[in-house]
Amino acid sequence: MVDNGLKNTGQRCRPVFALSLGDPAGIGPEIACKAMNNKEFMAEVAVVGAIDVLEITAARLELRLPLVSVARSADFRPDQVNVCDCGIPQSEEWHTGAVQAVCGRAAYTYIDKAIAMALAGEVDGVITNPINKEALHAAGYNYPGHTEIFAEKTGTDKYSMLFLLNNIGVAHVTTHCSLREAIEQIATGRVLATIRLLSDTMIRLGITGPRIAVGGLNPHAGENGLFGKEEIEHIRPAIAMAQAEGIDASGPYPPDTVFMRAFRGAFDGVVAMLHDHGFVALKSMDFEHGVNITVGLPIIRTSVGHGTAFDIAGTGKASAESLLSAFDAARRLYRSDRGK
Each residue of 50-106: pLDDT tens digit?
999 999 999 999 999 999 999 877 788 888 999 999 999 988 889 999 999 999 999
Q: Are 309 and 222 in contact (CB under 8 A)?
A: no
Strands (E) across 63-137 are located at 67-69, 81-85, 126-128
pLDDT at 162: 87
Q: What's the N-to-C CA distance of the chain in angstroms?
A: 15
CA distance 235 to 238: 5
Number of H helices and E strands in the chain, helices first, is: 13, 12
Q: Catalogue all structural domains in the chain, each as residue range(s) with its CATH number.
A: 1-155+298-340 (3.40.718.10), 157-296 (3.40.718.10)
Each residue of 319-336: pLDDT tens digit?
999 999 999 999 999 998
Is the pLDDT at 136 greater than 60, yes or no? yes
| Bond prior to 298 in cis (omega within 30° of 0) | no
pTM for the complete prediction?
0.85
Is the pLDDT at 305 greater than 50, yes or no? yes
pLDDT at 1: 41
